[in-house]
Structure formats: C-alpha cells, structure tokens
Chain A
Amino acid sequence: MKGKVLSLLLAAAMAASLLAGCGSAKTDEGSEAASSAETEAAAEGEAGTEAAAEAEAGKNPVTLKTVSMFGGTDPNAGVYQAINQEFMGEYEYITIEDNSQSSDEDWKASVAADFSVGNEPDVIQYFADATANTVLATDKFVTLDEIQAEYPEYAQDTLEAALEAVTNPDGVRRAVPTTGYWEGLFCNKDLFDEYDLELPADWDSLVTAIDTFKENGIIPIACSLNNVPHYWVEYFLLYAAGEADYITTPGEAPESWVKGLETFKTLRDMGAFPEDTDTVDNDYTGQLFINKQAAMQLDGSWFAGSIEDTDNTVVIAFPGLEDQKAQAGAMVGGISSGFYITKKAWEDPDKREAAVRFVEAHTSKEAVQRYWEATGAISKAAVEVDSIDGMTPLALSALDYTNGATSICAPTDSRLGQEPYAVIISNIVKISTGSASADDVLNEALELYAQRSE
C-alpha cells in the first residue's frame, strides 16, 4: 500500500517536471500504452484478411510470450524459429514474442528472478530436474494432468519413458520434452591421425595424447574453465566416484569427489587447456575446436550440430581417470528439459488454447524429428523418430558411443540445483590452479544445498 502511494506521488512529480521541461515529454507518458496499442494494431493488421474468418471462430488476437533454451548458436535455434514462423502462419491470430537464449548460470538466475517477481512468460522450455527447484517453488506451472484433462491429445506423441524422465523432483509431471542429450568427448580425428595417435581409451592414452599435442603446438583440450567447465566437472566426479556415489548427494564432500575435481589441476599443470582458458568464453573455445586448433572437446550432443567437418570429427566415451571407480563407458546424459505452460497463460481464456497449440507444435512427432535431425540425429528423441539415411561418420560414431554406454547418469546440477551448483562452477579456475581446495568448495555447495532443501 505504501508502495502504491509513493509510486503515485513519484509519477505525479515526474510528470509535472517533465511537462515543465518540454512538451515532448507527452510522447513518453503515452509511449507504453501507445506501443502496446501499436503492436496490437499491427497484429490486427496482419490478420486483416483473415479477420473475418477468425471473428467467426471468436478468437481474439493473442500475443504469446515464449522462452526457450534454443538461442544463439545452438543448432536447435534454426528449427525453433522456423516452427514459430510456421505456427504464426497457421494461427494468424497468434503473435509470438520470443525471448530465447542459450542457457548459462546467469540466465538460469534471471529466469528464477522473473518467476519470483511475476514476470514469467506464457510458455517456457526449461529444466525439469533440481535446477528448476527455485522456479518450481513459485508454483506457476500447470500440471500435465490438468492440461490433458481438457486437451487429451496434448503430448500424445511423447514417449512414456521421456515423460518419466522429465518428471519434476516433487514427482509431478509438468513438462513435455523434445530431445535428450548426452555428453561425450569430441575428437578431431584427423589431428590424431596426423600425429599417429590412438583415440584415448583410458587415462594413460589421454595423457599421451595431451603430451603429444602439446609438443606440436596444438591445444589438447578446448575448454574455458572460467565459463563452461561443466562437462569436465561431471565426468571427473562420475569417474572418480563411480556411478552409485555420483548420483547421491552426501552431506559432506566424499574423498572421491574431491579427488575428481583435483584432476583439473593435474590437467592444467600438463598444459592441456588453452593458454587463455581463464579469460575466454565457451563459444570461443568451441571455435578453436572447430577450426582444428584444438584436438578434443568434452561437450553435449548439441555441439555436434555446429561441427562443420563431420567426416573427420568423432565422438567417443570419456577415456577415464587413474584408479577410476566407474565402469568404462559410463555416460552422463538423459532428458532434462521440456516445455511448460504457466498458470498465467492457462488462466487467460484467450491464451490457454494458444499456449497448448504452441507446445504441441514443438513436441509433435514431426517437430521432434526436425530437432533430432538438426542436432545431427544422434541424441535421444522424446518421440519415436524415423531413422535417416546417409549418416555422417560423426553421427555413426555417436551411435556407437551411445549404444556402448554401460550406464547413463543425470549430471550433478540435476540433483544440487542452480544455486549450489553455481558455487562449484565459479570456483573451478581456482581449483585448477590450487588456490582453492576442492574440499572446501564442495562442502560449501553441499552446505548450501542442505540449507535450501530444508
């Protein structure tokens, strides 16, 4: 209440001072209203010819606010945009205002902030695991049951196992997934051939490869420790701790986890990372790998979509660590995200159907097939996909890799949640130089996790 009064006072003061200053202030006063009226008018204009038909159906123009993780250089982004365009062509009364971005810690934090202050979109593609806990806490998603009660065809193409995979930590289903992912080691095979190296299959051969590349002026591993060390964190933890200990969240950092993260220092001391790994970002190191300036990159299946030389690039299982506890071929991956409809859209009679149709357009068999193909036809799809002809050597190697996987585990952030996980990520550079102890960092994160799950 106090806030309201203040804001009124302020607005009045502001308006008065602006008017005294210059007549042009008027345009500003009305700008918000004007611009929103403009977009609406534009939407109406576009729909002009169809207006009559739509009027019969009784549909008011709808502006749907959408957010996805298919942004930037993600190969999914092209498909996502195309489907949006087709969607707006089919439903002329719907305008999509999309706000997609590739996901990183800052973005996750800002989504959480948006949800907590009531600035959530109508539809969002977001994580389903513990990463979503801060967002789930705001209780703004509609459950799958509720949607299917009214729209029985919703998520019909999606496989049961895929829906099971994106069940939220509280056991409720809300999201509809498109494709899954795995994380694997991408290798520039031509570089390995050039220096007579075998693709690494264990820790020792990995070390040999790193040493040889290092001597020949090739960056052994493309990775930005300051930006996205996530994949290495996961595999270090997984292989050092073994599958069973990896997927539990202990109260205190186990020795194996600590040892796993300390491998960052071992690799850094060997000169495995780029000279400027502390300052560059993930896009930049990805470019190093694509340009063949770097030999290996641990990354997610989506990375396959941006690789140009699919003939000489292969993906293989994580080679392993000294004294590893995980079985060779243990893999990090799964289906971790999906499309949600928010209550904001669901409770708006005009938007409800638009939102449902939008999610259907992105999760139908046909759409998922397109996403699957755009990312190199190598990830796990959430629907029954038709296999494609002429698979590239890269795709074939990925198929080998995934078929040979001995276990599949979801990554640590799916259990810890965004805030505690960010503590680990932000300290990787320090762990790699030895200026922070892995023990302290893990304990800080686990302690925060314990506080948040109270």
Chain B
Amino acid sequence: MRLINGNGKDKKRKKHKISTIVIYVILTLWALTTLFPFLWVILNSFKESSEVLTSSFSLPQNFSWNNYNNAFHRLNVLNAYKNSFLISGSVTLGVMALSACMSFALSRYRFKGKSVIHGLIVASLMFPVFSTIIPVFRMIVAWGLLNKNIAVILPQTAGNLSFATIVMLGFMESIPVEMEEAAYMEGANVFQVFTRMIIPLCKPSLSTVAIFSFLWSYNDLFVQKIMIRDNTKFPVSTLLEEISSQYGTDFGLMAASVTIIMIPVILVYIFLQKNIIRGLTAGAIKG
C-alpha cells in the first residue's frame, strides 16, 4: 500500500517535471526567436557586405569596425542622437504632463459632455499619423516651423496623447478618492492635491506612458521624414533610413545602421522595464 502510494506520487511528480521541462523548452524557443535576429544583425555588422551574403551565420572572418567607421564618418550620427533625444524627450514630457492632467480631469470631475470627450479620445486612437499628415504639414509650414524639432514634437505629442490618457485614466480611477477629500479638509487645493498626491501615486503608469511615448517617438520615421527635410538636422531613424536608401546594397553597412538605431532604445528599455509592466496593465485592464 505504502509502496504503491509512493509510486503514484513519484509518477505524478515525474509527470509534473516533464511538463515543466516542456514548458521551459517552448518558452526558450520563443525567446530565441526574439533574441536571434538581434544577435544576427550585430554579428553581421562586423562583416564585409559580400561576406554577409555568403556566410551570414559564421563569425566574421576579420572582425572589423569598418561599417561603423563608415556610418559615423559619412554621417553625423552623434548630432542625430542629440536631435532624437531632444525630440523624443520633449514628446515624452509633453505627453506625460498633458495626459496626467486630462485623465485627472476625467477621473475626478463629473460634467456635461464627459462621455463625448471620452469618446473623442478613444476615437483618436484610430487616427494613424499618415492620415493627418498633409494638413498638419500645411499648418507647420504656415507657422514657419518646418525643419525645426518642434515640427516633429507637436504632432507626435498629439498622436501619443490618446493612448497615454487611456492608460492613465484606468490607473487614476483605481485610486480611492477618500484621501484627497481628507487633504482638502486640511486646506489643500486641487492643484496641491494633483501635484503632491496624485502624481506620486501614478508613478508606475506615468513611467509606462513615458516609455511608450519615447519609443514611439524615437521610432516614428514617418513624421520625422516629412517634417525634417534638411539632412543636417536629421534624427537617428531618418538618417539611417537615408543610408539604406542610398547605399542599399551594402549589407554590412545596413546591419551596422540597424544596430546603431537599436542600441539607445534597448538601453532605455532595460533601465525602465520594471515599470512598463505594472503601469501598462493597470491602465489597460481597467480602461
């Protein structure tokens, strides 16, 4: 009896173990698909173009920084990084501030037309940038802002605002109002409540909003390409797209370009990734 029992337990444990192994195998395989392309591209960025075409899997025959030299020499990559960070940094701050205010208003106040405004915000999630770009371009030209960073910052801020507001709104609605009322009794006004209580509480969703605004702004080639038409003022993505369109057959150079675009965002992501997960879901689930 005891023996059988023990056996059964063993069996169960064994079965459990096997299924755990299977799960790990599946998860690892998927992780490989997400990791492999990046390793591949980094590996090939150290090769000659012809070598990329003949043997893209082996280690480079002569490990060379040529492609990077080429990219940095031919183009002002550092200046492009500066432009990118100025643009995406401003978009991030702008989106954080505006979406926090909007979602605060929508989560705390009751007023006529609230559902209309909410509807408009959700609807503006449907506006792809390319569908509004021609009129926006005309406005930017009329205001004399073409080729200036602000020409990218304004439309990108507007474009990211609806997603950010929806995320923030979900989060704010989950914060109980009682504490704020208590603070009010002690003499705090609305703005003090907002800046000293709400904002600190919203940190996780704020950093989610920050990360996505930054990512989407940095990676948004389209608006950059339309608004910044002067190659001395190009941000990173535009500059490197230029390489690929002008030197399309130099695969080594292309691999290096891709790596140059990727590095900063990967770093930003790794630094801030803990927040992404908490903030995003809180908003998304409730929103």
Contact = CB atoms under 8 A, between A and B. Distances in A.
Direct contact of A and B (CB under 8 A): yes
Contact of A18 (B90, B247, B248): B90
Contacts of B242: 101
Contact of B232 (A10, A97, A118, A284): A97
A118 B141 contact: yes
B150 A97 contact: no
A27 B94 CA distance: 14
B94 A286 contact: no
Contacts of A286: 249
Given A110-B229, A119-B147, A21 B93 contact: yes
Interface in A1-41: 3-4, 6-7, 10-11, 14, 17-18, 20-22, 24-25, 27-28, 31-32, 39
Interface string B234-254: 000000001001111100000
A102 interface: yes
B146 interface: yes
* Secondary structure call for the A interface: helix
Contacts of B142: 3
B261 interface: no
B139 interface: yes
Interface string B143-186: 10111111001100100000000000000000000000000000
Given A3-B142, A102-B246, A283-B248, A31 B86 contact: yes
Given A101-B246, A117-B141, A286-B249, A22 B93 contact: yes
A11 B144 CA distance: 13
Interface stretch (A65-73, A191-199, A403-411): A65-73
B223 interface: no
A281 interface: yes
B105 interface: no
B60 interface: no
A276 interface: no
B98 A17 contact: yes
B96 interface: yes
Given A3-B139, A3-B142, A4-B143, A14 B94 contact: yes
Nearest to A110: B229
Nearest to A280: B248
Contacts of A6: 143
Interface in A67-105: 71-73, 97, 99, 101-102
Given A21-B94, A28-B86, A117-B141, A14 B231 contact: no
Contacts of B143: 3-4, 6-7
Contacts of B248: 281, 283-284
B131 to A, nearest CB: 18
A134 B147 CA distance: 22
A283 B249 contact: yes
A287 interface: yes
A284 B249 contact: yes
A7 B145 contact: yes
B150 to A, nearest CB: 7
A21 B149 contact: no
B89 A28 contact: yes
Contacts of A21: 93-94, 96-97
B246 A73 contact: yes
A114 interface: yes
B89 A24 contact: yes
Interface in B199-241: 229-232
Given A31-B86, A102-B246, A25 B145 contact: no
Nearest to B134: A113
A328 B247 CA distance: 36
A14 B141 CA distance: 18
A376 B98 CA distance: 59
B93 A18 contact: yes
B96 A27 contact: no
20 contacts: A3-B143, A6-B143, A14-B94, A14-B157, A17-B93, A17-B94, A18-B90, A18-B94, A22-B93, A24-B89, A32-B149, A71-B246, A72-B247, A97-B232, A110-B229, A114-B229, A117-B146, A119-B146, A119-B147, A284-B248
A-B complex: 9 closest residue pairs judged by Cβ atoms: A72-B246, A21-B93, A7-B143, A17-B97, A117-B141, A283-B248, A3-B142, A21-B97, A287-B249
Given A17-B98, A21-B97, 19 more contacts: A18-B94, A21-B94, A21-B96, A22-B93, A24-B89, A25-B93, A31-B149, A32-B148, A65-B230, A73-B249, A97-B230, A97-B232, A99-B232, A101-B242, A101-B246, A117-B137, A119-B146, A284-B249, A286-B249
Interface of B: 86, 89-90, 93-94, 96-98, 101, 137-139, 141-143, 145-150, 153-154, 157, 229-232, 242, 245-249
